[in-house]
Amino acid sequence: MKIICVNDYDDMSKKSADIVVSQIILNPESVLGLATGSTPIGMYKQLVKAYEDGHIDFEKITTFNLDEYFNIDKTNKQSYYYYMKKNLFEKVNINMENINIPNGMADNIDEECLEYEKKIRDKGGVDIQVLGIGRNGHIGFNEPDIKFEALTHMVKLDEQTIKDNSRFFDSIDEVPTTAISMGIKTIMRAKKIVLLASGKEKAECIYEAIYGNITPNLPASVLQLHPDVIFVIDKQAGSKLNLEEIDKQYL
């Protein structure tokens, strides 16, 4: 595990984008695992800039998103398909046939989950998986107590997650209560993982994810077992860590 602690959100966005840019330069046919939410928006802006400046090319890139709300059409402005289109896909030269996002409107969700896993395997797995982290330690939509061995599956969202996501909706009653998500096992199969965190409200879960017991009660703690994971956090998110020791050890 490597921990990169930077000053603020902008630095976190730049540093995490640098890692993804390096992956694309080294392998222009990379398979990227992508996250949504407010945290990676700055990173996506930096990736778009790197593309516009001619540093990277998305033509042969394949993407797999972590999750999608259940029963929300991809044209809905609250869907993660719409989010990815607006924040990245329509701004770069990615082949739309290489974009993969769970279909929350699928008639058979079990089949959709199995097919999603098959698509990932057929592409040789995810080269670099971008993650955010919820205040309850969830990664993807894998809430506390979900088994580590879970593959892509339907999940019931925790009350805290629904409350946190309500800022994107007109009211909390509009927030979906279920979603399709890559499972912990799927995430852990990625060759490299980059987790982003910003803000003081993430400090406790970051501390527990790095130093706490490995337990489904805090899903992100399983990342301690991954052979190549990087935490890119700002000083507020890292405020419970021994930053001086981290500087000596990692930077």
Measured CA to CA in angstroms, residue 161 lies from 64, 157, 167, 205 at distances of 22, 6, 11, 14
Phi-psi bin for 122: left (phi > 0), alpha (psi -120 to 50), beta?
A: alpha
Task: Round to whole Å and give the CA distance between 181 and 178.
Answer: 10
Measured CA to CA in angstroms, residue 196 lies from 58, 172, 202, 203, 238 at distances of 22, 25, 10, 12, 11
Rg (CA), the chain: 17
Catalytic residues: 67, 136, 138, 143
